[in-house]
Structure 1
Amino acid sequence: MLASTRRREILHRLLADGYVEARELANRMGVDTSTIRRDLDALARAGQVQRTHGGARPTPGVAGELPYAMKETERRSEKTAIAAAAAALVRPGDTVILDSGSTTYEVAAALRTHESLTVITNDLRIAKFVATVPDIRLLVTGGELLGSVYTLVGDRAESFLADYAADWTFLGADAIHPAAGITNTNTLEVPIKRAMIAAAVSTIVVTDSSKFGHHTLAKVAALDEISQIITDSQLPTGTAEQYGDQLTRTSYLTETESSAG
């Protein structure tokens, strides 16, 4: 398991339980306790956790969202394939809402060859990218910045979205579960995600297979509020069947296969 994947799981456990113990995490992940201690130390240096004797607890005042820099390097091939499948749904002249996140950033990149689109986003990194694409009209929500994830949230962002009618919302997810639905680690982002769902004819969740079978702190939406879920082909068939026709799995090339090609 990659260090970035372990650290994501540590933060998920911390948000769910309020405390994590290094020895228990080591047993759960099948690594040495010293490895987990190094992970906890790295998260503490990043301000994501507060170290305790033998474990860690949440940093006071920190919502627990993973930093963008950690997200953008994870599962890049999978995200690119998911984004290509998502972008294929969009037609010239459509209005698209892009949620914040590394997978929706890849959707923005995949839309760069489309014609006459309008893109609405609350993600400053996505906005910066889209601003360089000449044939896309860009609208950016107002709101307050969540710095580590470059996301705008708050009443102004929500009221901004209420004034528009979009064809598509492409929504990220921290976790997807057949019963719990779409959930998020950060409660501050939930209202604007709900506003994005309400503003669009169709909502497509774009997320890699590692997010399935889990649930996190805050509920975003039930599955019946979502039009479609697009993920990668690493999701086991047994898990995929729980979501029926709502789910699409996309194939992708590994880094080794890409290099060989």
Structure 2
Amino acid sequence: MFAEERQQRIAERARTAGRVDVAALAAHFEVTTETIRRDLTALERQGVVKKVHGGAIPLERIGFEPTVAARDAVQTAAKERIAAAALAEVPAEGAILLDAGTTTARIAQAIPADRDLTVVTNDVLIASLLAAKPRLTVLIVGGKVRRRTMAAVDDWALRALAETYVDVAFMGANGISVERGLTTPDTGEAAVKRAMINAARKTVVVADHTKAGNDCLARFGTLDQVDVLVTDTGLDDDLAADFESADLKVVRA
């Protein structure tokens, strides 16, 4: 097994269990404890976990978030497939909303340049990507920009979204579960995400399988507010069945 694949699995175990143990990981992967410690160091540098005595804790569970650069380097192939599949939900014309995030940024990149769309976003980086496509009308939601995610938040953003109504909102999430719904570590972003869902006729959540079953600090939506979940083939069959039993359409790209 390549180190990158092992580290990805370690990150998934950390998010699922809330903590990973060096000795247990070494036994599971049949490698030395030194190898596991190097893996955890690499994941900590990526902003995925925080090393603690004897193991590591996922940053989401202790109120931290990885930076945009760190998140953009994780699950890249899955995010590309998710974005391609999500394009089926983009109308030929009308208005859509793109939440801040690295998966939604890939949707922005993939939107055909000949679409007559109005795109609303609170993501500074996404707005700059869309501005290069001349047939799109790009509206950026104002507010205080969080440097960690490059998302505009707070009252300015909420006021703009209260006067907005779009055909489809494409939402990211740090966690999605049957028990807690849609969650994110930051309360300011949660408020904006909640307003985005309320501003849309249809809601599509785009999230790779590592977010499934994960719960973060702030809830911003329930599963009955979501029409479609677009994820990847790494999603566990049992979790997929749980989501579908909650009347959520699941697309595994």
TM-score band, normalised by the shorter chain? 0.7 to 0.9
TM-aligned CA distance change 1:70 to 1:35, over 3 Å: farther
Poorly superposed stretches of 4+, deviation over 6 Å: 43-52, 55-59
SS in 2 for 1:94: strand
Taking the aligned partners of 2:236 and 2:16, their CA distance within structure 1 comes to 23
Distance in 2 between residues matched to 1:56 and 1:233, nearest whole Å: 26
Query: What is the TM-score when the length of structure 1 is the normalising length?
Result: 0.78
Q: How does 1:124-143 map to 2 (within 5 A)?
A: 124-143=124-143
Cα displacement (A) at 1:200: 0.6
The question of whether the paired residues in 2 share the 8 Å contact of 1:118 and 1:139 is answered with yes
SS at match of 2:220: strand
Unaligned runs of 5+ in 1: 252-261
For residue 202 of structure 1, report the CA deviation from its aligned partner. 0.7
* Aligned partner of residue 216 in structure 1, secondary structure: coil
Task: Give how far 1:99 is off.
Answer: 0.6
Compute the displacement of 1:112 (Å): 3.1
Q: 2:172 matched to which residue of 1? A: 172
| Structure 1 residues 221 and 35: CA distance shift in structure 2, 3 A | farther
SS in 1 for 2:204: strand
Letter in 2 for 1:93: E
Is the alpha carbon distance of 1:194 and 1:28 closer, same or farther for their aligned partners in structure 2, counting shifts above 3 Å? farther
Letter in 2 for 1:185: P
Distance 1:166-1:13 versus aligned 2 partners, 3 A rule = same
Partner of 2:90: 90
Shift of 1:4: 5.9
CA contact (8 A) 1:8 1:66 kept: no
Shift of 1:75: 2.0
Q: Deviations over 1:54-112 (max 9, x none)?
A: 567899xx951111112112222221222122222222322111111111011111213
Cα deviation, residue 45, structure 1: 6.5
- State the percentage of identical aligned residues: 34
Q: Paired residue for 2:248?
A: 246
- Give 3-state SS (helix, strand or coil) of 2:205's partner: strand
Whole-angstrom distance in 2 between the partners of 1:187 and 1:169: 19
Cα distance in 2 between the residues matched to 1:80 and 1:13: 23
Give the counterpart letter for 1:128 in structure 2. Answer: S
1:59-208 counterparts in 2 under 5 A?
A: 64-208=64-208
CA RMSD of aligned residues (A): 3.1
Shift, 1:187, TM fit: 2.5
Alpha-carbon distance, 1:239 to partner: 2.1
TM, length-normalised to structure 2? 0.81
CA contact (8 A) 1:183 1:218 kept: yes
Distance 1:201 1:236, change over 3 A: same
Deviation at 1:197, TM superposition (A): 0.3
Matching residue of 1:226: 226
Q: Distance in 1 between matches of 2:208 and 2:45?
A: 27
Q: For residues 130 and 7 of structure 1, what CA distance do their matches in structure 2 show? A: 32
C-alpha offsets along residues 143-181 of structure 1, whole Å, 9 cap, x if unaligned?
A: 112112211111111111111111111000111111211
Amino acid across the alignment from 1:250: R
